[in-house]
């Protein structure tokens, strides 16, 4: 990762992130229904509603993490370019999750089966500086990504320093 960083705290600072494009790394996961189709649909909706998906990892079958389920997951990572701020990307990814049938986000570390989960993992601004933020809605970089091999393996595939 680049040594330069940008910190963002509070809504008024987000205008600095609109200079050109931001590069996001997203984690995607599903363990209900047609999992491959769910991931492909999520990527298509990201392209339509959020920005340009410039790289997509292979799909990885993984066991549930943080809860017990008979349903294995299919996970992937994507690189996405957009002029949207992190909170705008979060809102749009949550809209996509809802459109695809997800009704509840994980609350207080309680996880459940899901048709789709889209997590913002990393964000870099137009200069290549890592965006760090910690708000009620969003923490970047994602605080648990390093503990999750199902996130890190596909992320390593698409991340280009």
Average pLDDT score, the chain:
83
- Cβ pair 148, 155 in contact under 8 A: no
Radius of gyration of the chain (CA): 15
Structure tokens at 48: 């339509």
pTM for the full predicted model: 0.81
What's the average model confidence in pLDDT over 33-43? 97
pLDDT band (50, 70, 90) for residue 110: low
All domains in the chain, ordered by first residue = 5-158 (3.30.70.560)
pLDDT tens by residue, 53-88: 999 999 999 887 766 777 889 999 999 999 999 999
Q: What is the per-residue pLDDT for 23?
A: 95
């Amino acid at each position: 990762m680049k040594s330069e960083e940008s910190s963002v705290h509070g809504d008024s600072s987000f205008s600095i992130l609109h200079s050109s494009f931001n590069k996001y790394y997203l984690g995607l996961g599903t363990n209900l229904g047609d999992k491959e189709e769910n991931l492909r649909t999520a990527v298509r909706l990201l392209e339509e509603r959020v920005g340009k998906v410039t790289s997509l990892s292979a799909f990885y079958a993984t066991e549930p993490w943080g809860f017990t389920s008979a349903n294995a997951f299919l996970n992937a990572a994507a690189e996405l370019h957009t002029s949207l701020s992190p909170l705008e990307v979060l809102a749009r990814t949550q809209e996509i999750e809802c459109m695809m049938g997800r009704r509840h986000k994980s609350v207080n570390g309680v996880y459940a089966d899901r048709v789709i989960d889209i997590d913002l993992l990393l964000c870099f601004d137009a200069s290549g500086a890592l965006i760090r933020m910690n708000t009620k809605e969003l923490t970047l970089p994602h605080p648990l990504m390093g503990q999750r091999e199902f996130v890190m393996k596909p992320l390593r595939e698409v991340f280009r320093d």
